[in-house]
A = this chain, B = another copy of it.
Amino acid sequence: MAKVKKQPRPKAVTPKGFRDYFGAEVIQRKAMLDQISEVYQLYGFEALESSAVETVEALGKFLPDVDRPNEGVFAWQEDDDADWLALRYDLTAPLARVYAQNRNDLPTPYRRYAMGPVWRNEKPGPGRFRQFYQCDADTVGASSVAADAEICAMLADTLEAVGIPRGDYIVRVNNRKVLNGVMEVAGVLDPSDPDKFVTERGVVLRAIDKLDRLGADGVRALLGAGREDDSGDFTKGAGLSDEQAEIVMGFMQAKRDSGAATVARLNELVTGSETGVSGVQELETIAELMAAQGYNSDRIEIDPSVVRGLGYYTGPVYEAELTFEIKDEKGRPRQFGSVAGGGRYDDLVKRFTGQEVPATGGSIGVDRLLAALQAKGRMTKETVGPVIVTVMDRDRMAHYQSIVGELRAAGIRAEVYLGNPKNFGNQLKYADKRNAPLAIIEGSDEAERGVVQVKDLVLGAEIAKTASLEEWKGQPAQSEVKRSELVAVIKKMLG
């Protein structure tokens, strides 16, 4: 009852970088997440829904954008004594916290999946929002690369389950240890002093991750002195010599026609590095495990150009890429690209517990995958609306309600028009806007004769917007049905 004080009207807008999702968008995403979680469950993963809010301390600083370590999250402090709290920016950092917190109660290995929104306090752009869905599956507590292979197989199964046919995707696998071996050989990693060259290696990592976007020349510039982009901005490079850069470039381009040939080439490149050799062995083991289950080169391949941007990966890294072409905003064909990825991160839980806990997992870019399914025509933008019972006679509302009651009892989506019924045209416009397949009309004369009119709105869609009630009633898309047979007839009409 408290009256709101007079003040300027609030603006009805979402905050910048946020958006709402309506009807079919929500339903389709949900259907896709349901399909994904079915696969995850089949693989024995358990659902986890962690709190959306974490302490800033627990979240840590693991955003890919390491150049802005103090930004990237939405954070607040209730009062000066309170912990800083923040919205989670991914589902991996919370998993590390959950596992550390509950490690005595959870099974080990702990396979869990999680799906839900994450928030990033980043500059929004076209198609880039500050709240978006992630869908992750991780195995914590398993050091065997069989766990990595399992996630890769599961990503492949998941893509097929949501409607990406085999041949339209590839899961590419690499290993950070191989990259580290190459860095050793190139002289930017000293196993006896791991902190040395850490900045340089960060630049190298991010440079390789940009191969798709910058091309080989761009990456080479970043490995050396640096690179000026089209806008004139200069990014400082890793400062590698030409010989050093050549070794790294050789790694990036080590992919050969067969997995065996790629492995052979990688073994050449890491000669002398224990870490590198062990990384190549892991890649071979993953390939063997996959092949034993029928995942061959049409679904999984070793690709040394995959490094993933995140700093925390320690072993196998993987990326699921869609290989079919779509048209970009300028109509040029391009490959759809990555929709999922992940890798092994053995140090995240250690932050909390002091003990190393091996972990590996992947994340699906839900919105990108939805966009891909739409591009493939696997998803229509619209869903079929309810059957609309129009209101010809306001006093008979209870009767109209009983019609929809019968329809719903038969499992048919149905509603009575609840706006002002005076203007019948508005009722038809409403039915149109709702994408209703059928409208039911029952005036007093129909009621007396024990019949109703059923209008097929799909057939009648074009004329419905302009026609008067009488014209509309005369359309061939309309038929008279006995009231007692209404439910059966409608069931049949809707197929």
Scan A344-376; emit 1 where CB is below 8 A from any B CB, else 0: 000000011110000000000000000000000
Residues B202 and A42 in contact, CB atoms below 8 Å apart: no
A332 at the interface (CB under 8 A from B): no
Q: How far is the CA of A109 from the CA of B430 in the complex (A)?
A: 8
Residues B411 and A42 in contact, CB atoms below 8 Å apart: yes
Residues on B with C-beta less than 8 A from A109 are: 417-419, 430
A483 at the interface (CB under 8 A from B): no
Q: Give 5 nearest A-B pairs by CB, closest first.
A: A44-B415, A292-B398, A12-B100, A76-B76, A26-B47
Residues on B with C-beta less than 8 A from A3 are: 194-195, 198
Q: How far is the CA of A199 from the CA of B12 in the complex (A)?
A: 29
Residues B408 and A42 in contact, CB atoms below 8 Å apart: yes
What is the distance, in angstroms, from A292's C-beta to the closest C-beta of chain B? 3
Within 8 A of B (CB), among A11-50: 11-15, 18-23, 25-27, 30, 41-44, 46-50
Residues on B with C-beta less than 8 A from A44 are: 385-386, 388, 413-415, 434
A278 at the interface (CB under 8 A from B): no
Q: Closest residue of chain B to A142, judged by CB? A: B418
Residues B53 and A74 in contact, CB atoms below 8 Å apart: yes
Residues B292 and A401 in contact, CB atoms below 8 Å apart: yes
Residues on B with C-beta less than 8 A from A276 are: none
Within 8 A of B (CB), among A365-421: 385-386, 388, 397-399, 401-402, 404-405, 408, 411-420
Residues on B with C-beta less than 8 A from A74 are: 53, 76, 85
Residues A20 and B42 in contact, CB atoms below 8 Å apart: no
Residues on B with C-beta less than 8 A from A157 are: 408
Residues A53 and B18 in contact, CB atoms below 8 Å apart: yes
Q: A44-B415, A405-B294 are in contact. Are A311 and B2 (CB under 8 A)?
A: yes
Q: A14-B54, A15-B85, A198-B1 are in contact. Are A418 and B42 (CB under 8 A)?
A: no
Q: How far is the CA of A294 from the CA of B398 in the complex (A)?
A: 11
A213 at the interface (CB under 8 A from B): no
Residues A1 and B205 in contact, CB atoms below 8 Å apart: yes
Residues A48 and B22 in contact, CB atoms below 8 Å apart: yes
Q: How far is the CA of A58 from the CA of B403 in the complex (A)?
A: 39
A241 at the interface (CB under 8 A from B): no
Residues A49 and B20 in contact, CB atoms below 8 Å apart: yes
Q: Closest residue of chain B to A417, judged by CB? A: B109
What is the distance, in angstroms, from A7's C-beta to the closest C-beta of chain B? 9
A163 at the interface (CB under 8 A from B): no
Select A55's contact among B11, B30, B43, B352, beta carbons within 8 Å.
B11
Residues on B with C-beta less than 8 A from A111 are: 415, 418
